[in-house]
Amino acid sequence: MCHHCVIENVKSGMLSRRDFFKGTAAAGVAAVAVAASPTPLFAQTPAKAEDLTHEIWDKFPTYFGGQQLFIEQKFSHAKDTFNLNEWRISEHTGTHIDAPLHFTADGKSVAELPVEDLIAPLVVIDIRAKAAENEDSQVTPDDIKAWTDANGDLPDGAVIAMLSGWDAHVATDKFRNLGDDGKTMHFPGFHVEAVKQLLEGTSKAIAVDTLSLDFGASPDFIVHNTWLPSGRYGIEGVANLGSVPAKGATIVVGAPKIKGATGGPARIFAFV
């Protein structure tokens, strides 16, 4: 095609596009009204991103105590001119998702979580002071009230995160923090009464910087059993929550899209 023809083609393309927009202007108003989200994904242009994800390695502390990530090299650069590993990993390893299917017979798998639930305003409830004094601390309705007293109502469709400061212990035994009985763990989590309160609102997920949505000494997974059957999800082992504000950040949850999975390691960001 000659230079002139290209220009003419572009021109006519622009014209027909203009006609298209003109012709559909009336319908366009209605379409925009439908397409516009009542809650924009980002309230403001973010200035930076924080990584809320722990690096996973084979000895990453686990709820059950055993190794949950195994890496086997299948190809090596020296021998094969490229590197490639194969993993065997528990779905609930490292910074990871608890999908509704984790604690229900037929709830949503992690792959079925709608994308609009994976991007949300991030609410950070800071219980570091009481967690430092009492490792069995839980996020209670009083902690939620302290947050709303300081910051206003919980945003619609938020992810509510517990900041206990426990991520700092990830490389030590204190992350699991086995008690003297050798089987009961002691780390913070959500209290079921706080979770019941959140269920009355629009929160999409709860998140913790420990190994479990329930506090470590919980005998019955009551928070898991209360929250996940509602069709909402959880995030465990979140890192770096101390770097984001109590209010105003947007969380982006890179949940794995693995068919039928009850959860899975996720790369999680906060845009601040």
Instruction: List 105's β-bridge partners, or say none.
Output: none
Q: Output the residue with the shortest Cβ distance to Zn ion.
A: 98
At residue 217, what is the residue type? A
User: According to the binding rule CB under 5 A, does residue 91 interact with Zn ion?
Assistant: no
Nearer to Zn ion, 62 or 140 (CB): 62
For the chain, the C-alpha Rg in angstroms (whole number) is: 23
Nearest-approach distance from CB 97 to Zn ion, in angstroms: 9
Contact assessment for residue 58 and residue 89, using Cβ atoms and an 8 Å cutoff: no
The contacts of residue 176 (CB under 8 Å, 6+ apart) are 61, 62, 63, 65, 185, 187, 211, 216
Nearer to Zn ion, 235 or 241 (CB): 235
Nearest-approach distance from CB 56 to Zn ion, in angstroms: 16
Q: Which of residues 3-42 bind Zn ion (CB under 5 A)?
A: none
At residue 4, what is the residue type? H
Nearer to Zn ion, 98 or 143 (CB): 98
Nearer to Zn ion, 91 or 98 (CB): 98
User: According to the binding rule CB under 5 A, does residue 98 interact with Zn ion?
Assistant: yes
Residue 224 to residue 192: CA distance in whole angstroms: 9
Q: How many residues form the binding site for Zn ion (CB under 5 A)?
A: 1
Residue 124 to residue 117: CA distance in whole angstroms: 17
Give the interface segment with Zn ion, choosing from 95-103, 106-114, 168-176, 197-205 (CB under 5 A). 95-103
Nearer to Zn ion, 250 or 251 (CB): 251
At residue 235, what is the residue type? I
Contacts to Zn ion by CB under 5 A: 98
